[in-house]
Structure 1
Amino acid sequence: MLRSSLFALITLALPVTAHAQCGGGFSNFVSSLKEEAMTGGYDRATVNRFFKGVRQDPAILKADRAQGVFQKPFVEFSQRLISQGRLDRGRAMSKKYDAIFRRIETTYGIDRGVLLAFWAFETDYGAVQGNFNTLNALVTLAHDCRRPELFRPQVFAALELYSNGDFDPQKTTGAWAGEIGMVQMLPRDILENGVDADGDGHVRLKTSAPDALMSGAKMLSHLGWRPNEPWLQEVKIPADLDLSQTGAYRKKSVAQWQKLGVAPREGRLANPNMKAALLLPQGHKGPAFLAYPNFDVYFEWNQSFTYVLTAAYFGTRLSGADRYDAGNPDKGLSGSQMKQLQAKLQARGHDVGEIDGILGARTRQAVQQEQKRLGLPADAWPTPALLSRL
């Protein structure tokens, strides 16, 4: 049984020293982590064995700073990630693990396409799980001052997994950001949502597909997934639609969207009373989707709009949906042009977050506001024409 009360004490209740929060000398930072762990109830010998040989890994920091793939627009990004081979293998995996997917659907009400898509994108169905030492990754990112509040608690979660016999500080490997296993879960998520689905007495997310899939499903349920409801659906929009009503944060009932002329590309729309947002990832000339409440849960797993939309869309493909209509979107901006745009938007008083060349949620909102002000189609898709007007 997990010592959840002890883990909560360490991660939530203890005062945190300046060194433990982030920065400073790395050895001093590790010493601070050790002291906190022992104050929380772990014995010195366990703590010393756990942290023995831990080191700062420059490759981790380099990977954290170089996520350029998320600068690509949705159509290009999704076509790059979704190959026929991935579709075919996903369907094969659906058959191979039909029993566990049926169990997931019965227990959590989560469609198998959702888990298959995560499994495919995170590790190519378990084939590529990452070879970074997980403890080094977690401590390096906890020491770094960009996101210490995310990674510091993960160090103690890994210590708890170690004390339970489910983590090896020297041998456990995974992604550069500390995620472990076939669906890439952080240690704290494993503690809270890990499921021994194959009944061997351990949660083995690296080697057991049933454990990984059931744990991923429990995590999605914990994050708020609404059982047996859709998450994304491709639609067609009328030419006279008020585009300023589109976007992830502008939700209407399905009935209201229907009244405005939004129609499904195939099948039928969801319950008329269900709320949904109309997403135009590359503007009104590109693909269009209705995003239902479950779509929001994806952002608890990953913060990239492009990644999330692609994962959600791939889930629909694996569940039988047709390939989207790519349309003929207006030309977008290069990475350097996007940074110029973000700087101009920031100068106009918009909060776009970090000027990173990535079309994130806040940049989209600012773009839409400026498009509306300038009398352009307010579809949140930045073009060279908008950049020129600004």
Structure 2
Amino acid sequence: MRKALLILTLAFSPMLTPGLAHAQCGGSWSGFLSGIRSDLQAAGLNARQVDAFLAGARQSPAVLRADRAQGVFRKTFLEFASAVISKNRMVNGAKNAKRYAKTFDRMEQTYGVSRGVLLAFWALETDYGAVQGDFNTRDALLTLAHDCRRPALFRPQVIAAGKLFRRGDFDPQRTTGAWAGEIGQVQMLPDDILRNGVDGDGDGHVRLKTSAPDALMSGANMLRDMGWRPNEPWMQEVTVPDDLDWSKTGLTTELPVSDWKARGVRARQGQLASSLRGSILLPMGRKGPAFIVYPNFRVLFEWNKSFVYVTSAAYFATRLEGAPRLDPGAPEPGLSVAQMKRLQQKLVEKGYDVGAVDGILGANTRNAVQTAQEKLGLPADGWPTRALLDRL
């Protein structure tokens, strides 16, 4: 289940209730709930519905502890992928692909999203629905909306949950999920459910916790809403020549696939999608595994903002559709968390934007590393090494 992954998934939706972007946070709990009550009524709930939705609402210290205790993103791609892509998940992926074949057929025909992608997210989010989280969703959202770190993100989700309650698809007392308020087998926020929820099993309701067809169809609809290009690939493993211009690798450079082929990039299996544009991804540097990623890969960052999570999910999806195990190569040793923080601090001192000095090799840090490597005459593959730290 996501747990530590959730917060990087969340993006403030332009479709959320107007007037809440600078919503009040902090202060007394009762005063905060009074403001929420007004927002719910403004959103169309009557007084009786508001009373029922907020009955017994309480703050959750466990949610705040989970919010402050995220460390999973400090793993490298190979560490994370090895941990989450287990034999059991591969076997259960094949079983679920067969069990819900009709749903996947309909999903691919309707939304153009490959079944491997939804199978991968379904597995990584909840182990195919087995572990969906036991935090009370209403209380989690209220707690995070009251907390002053991201009220503009979570307060609108409280209102969206209220709307789901009004239509009969949310039980404020019994609905549980992940600590950041995501619900169901593919972990969707209330507003995502309002916008993209699909009744996949034809029972007249969108039940993402108990209905796999609802969850899969809704997840595919959400990806399409995020910009998924129907019936196009997202990632392929490739081999790259030793003399490739490493400064052209990474997500900041996208070239026609024909250009990459002319530079010596080859698919490890099958053929490259010559009609598309792509980027060369080296998650562990030039000596580690290599992928070409297509426009649909970038859409996955709308599902989760973590580089290591998205890359692992995308690779897992290819495995579930028959790709072989990747060639891990022989990556240069990476940095410890303490070393990564020192590297980030040195980059900040030299004027680079690394995001936060947190020991995590995120997109901003990768870009800064690659630029610094190029300036120092090092192979500019975006992989931070002790040699780079010493040069800085």
User: TM-score of the superposition, structure 2-length normalised?
Assistant: 0.94
Matched letter for residue 76 of structure 1: E
Hey, what does 1:190 align to over in structure 2? 193
Q: CA deviation at 1:140?
A: 1.2
Distance in 1 (alpha carbons) for counterparts of 2:189 and 2:20: 23
Q: CA deviation at 1:11?
A: 4.1
Alignment of 1:51-200 (within 5 A): 51-200=54-203
Distance in 2 (alpha carbons) for counterparts of 1:368 and 1:120: 32
CA contact (8 A) 1:302 1:308 kept: yes
Structure 1 counterpart of 2:31, from 24, 28, 33: 28
What do residues 93-113 of structure 1 show as CA deviations (whole Å, max 9, x unaligned)?
Answer: 100110100101111111110
Hey, what does 1:12 align to over in structure 2? 17
Q: CA deviation at 1:26?
A: 2.7
If asked which structure has higher relative contact order (CA below 8 Å, sep 6+), I would say 2
Alignment of 1:303-318 (within 5 A): 303-318=305-320
When the two chains are superposed, the root-mean-square deviation of aligned CA atoms in Å is: 1.5
Q: Does the residue aligned with 1:277 lie in a helix, a strand or coil?
A: strand
Hey, what does 1:364 align to over in structure 2? 366
Farther-moved stretch of structure 1 (39-48 vs 261-270): 39-48
Sort the Cα spacing of 1:228 and 1:36 in 2 relative to 1 into closer, same or farther, 3 A: same
Matched letter for residue 211 of structure 2: S
CA contact (8 A) 1:14 1:36 kept: no
What do residues 337-357 of structure 1 show as CA deviations (whole Å, max 9, x unaligned)?
Answer: 111111111111111112111
What do residues 132-186 of structure 1 show as CA deviations (whole Å, max 9, x unaligned)?
Answer: 0001111111122222222111100000000011111110000011110000000
CA contact (8 A) 1:10 1:37 kept: no
Farther-moved stretch of structure 1 (103-112 vs 37-46): 37-46
Distance in 1 (alpha carbons) for counterparts of 2:299 and 2:16: 24
Hey, what does 2:298 align to over in structure 1? 296
Distance in 2 (alpha carbons) for counterparts of 1:105 and 1:11: 28
Q: CA deviation at 1:227?
A: 0.8
Q: Does the residue aligned with 1:233 lie in a helix, a strand or coil?
A: strand
State, as a whole percentage, how many aligned pairs show the same letter: 61
Hey, what does 1:374 align to over in structure 2? 376
Matched letter for residue 324 of structure 1: L
Distance in 2 (alpha carbons) for counterparts of 1:275 and 1:357: 32
Q: CA deviation at 1:12?
A: 3.5
What do residues 198-237 of structure 1 show as CA deviations (whole Å, max 9, x unaligned)?
Answer: 1111111000111110111111111111111000000001
Distance in 2 (alpha carbons) for counterparts of 1:9 and 1:177: 19
CA contact (8 A) 2:246 2:381 kept: yes
Q: Does 1:340 align with 2:345?
A: no
Structure 2 counterpart of 1:281, from 253, 273, 283: 283
Distance in 2 (alpha carbons) for counterparts of 1:60 and 1:242: 46
Distance in 2 (alpha carbons) for counterparts of 1:319 and 1:163: 40
CA contact (8 A) 2:20 2:155 kept: no
Q: CA deviation at 1:41?
A: 3.1
Q: Does the residue aligned with 1:30 lie in a helix, a strand or coil?
A: helix
What do residues 41-95 of structure 1 show as CA deviations (whole Å, max 9, x unaligned)?
Answer: 3212211211122112111111112221111000011000001111011001100
Q: Does 1:43 align with 2:46?
A: yes
Aligned length: 380
Q: CA deviation at 1:374?
A: 1.0
Distance in 1 (alpha carbons) for counterparts of 2:120 and 2:78: 17
Hey, what does 2:255 align to over in structure 1? 252
Q: Does the residue aligned with 2:334 lie in a helix, a strand or coil?
A: coil
Alignment of 1:209-224 (within 5 A): 209-224=212-227
